[in-house]
Amino acid sequence: MKWIPALGLAALFAVGSTAAHAAKTIKVGNFFPDSHPVNIALNETFKKEVEARSNGELKVRIFSNAVLGGDEKLYNSVRGGTLEMAIIGNIMENEVEHVGIIQLPFLFNNYAHAQAVFASPIGETLVSDMTEKTGLHFLAYGVQGFRVIASNRSIQSMDDFKGLRLRFPGIENMIAIGKGLGANITPLPISEVFSALEQRVVDGVENPYPNIVASKWYEVTSHILESNHVFTPNLYMMNDKFWNGLSESEKTIVSEAAKAAAEQEWKLLIASEEKDKQVLSDAKVEIIVPDAAFKQQMIDAVQGSYDNFYSGHPRAREIVEEIRAIKP
């Protein structure tokens, strides 16, 4: 046996110990600007809690502003394992049995209703087959908000949707909602929306207030219809193989930090809506709140989305009824 000097042996063990305890890095991607509630919550809560509670054994790097891509690219990156974690929307609704229910039109009454649903057993049901179908581990429900329509012309009746070129996300049910309203739908990556509005490739975009303000789309639009036609969550998702590579204590830290960040995100976003509306008002953007008759016409126009969804998801009708029955 070859003799190893004491100093060399100590150094060998030191190297081995360092390698064994090398910090794991959780790269977190999202497409929101730095000023958006999701990135504030990720930096102030998720990153700080994970790194502090793990004593530096876990490191968090946040990639905002679509630098790693939009929803689809982030989704595929986390599935493929090149990204450990992402905050995404309902991009997986064609693969996960019930998660698409969340974005059925005019389903949630308000933020309190949505929060009560996600905190109930229904919240678990909606993502129960997420890992099996996608290879992703679900951590928490965040919030993008209720979607409104920013456009370069006033929308005050169903007739005003005719010929209107609207950007909708490239999700089947969302496209169906836009068409149900009577608009011409153009799916575009979120990173291309500003230039598309500026160059009049599209006449408008639908998204929650915080996204419209943070992305400065109000600089190239003049009106907003407060339709609240769809509620959109943020889903905190982690690659399941990475998740399973964490120790039990690390899993607890990550899970609790994600839930705490999501909770902060909800509070920040709800509080920000009035401020966002003031920004829009100061920018001379007209906010149109539909009267009861117009709102009902929009609701009636998109009911086909429910029939289409129910035809491919046998239990969906029952879940929708449970959601509507929940009182915050």
Q: How far apart are CA 107 and CA 113, in angstroms?
A: 10
**For residue 42, what is the DSSP state?**
I
Residue type at position 19: A
**For residue 33, what is the DSSP state?**
-
* DSSP per-residue letters across 103-145: GSTT---SHHHHHHHHHSHHHHHHTTTHHHHHSEEEEEEEEEE
pLDDT of residue 21: 58
**For residue 213, what is the DSSP state?**
H
pLDDT of residue 189: 86
Tokens of 224: 């907003």
pLDDT of residue 145: 96
Query: Could you tell me which of 24, 37, 49 has the C-alpha nearest to residue 257?
Result: 49
Q: How far apart are CA 183 and CA 282, in angstroms?
A: 28
Q: What is the pLDDT along the chain (328 residues), one digit of tens a residue?
A: 444 444 444 444 444 444 445 789 999 999 998 989 999 999 999 999 999 999 999 999 999 999 999 889 999 999 999 999 999 998 999 899 999 999 999 999 999 999 999 999 999 999 999 999 999 999 999 999 999 999 999 999 999 999 999 999 888 888 999 999 999 999 998 889 999 999 999 999 999 999 899 889 999 999 999 999 999 999 999 999 999 999 999 999 999 999 999 999 999 999 999 999 999 999 999 999 999 999 999 999 999 999 999 999 999 999 999 999 999 8
pTM tops 0.95: no
pLDDT of residue 17: 40
Sequence-separated (6 or more) residues with CB below 8 Å from residue 25:
58, 59, 60, 61, 84
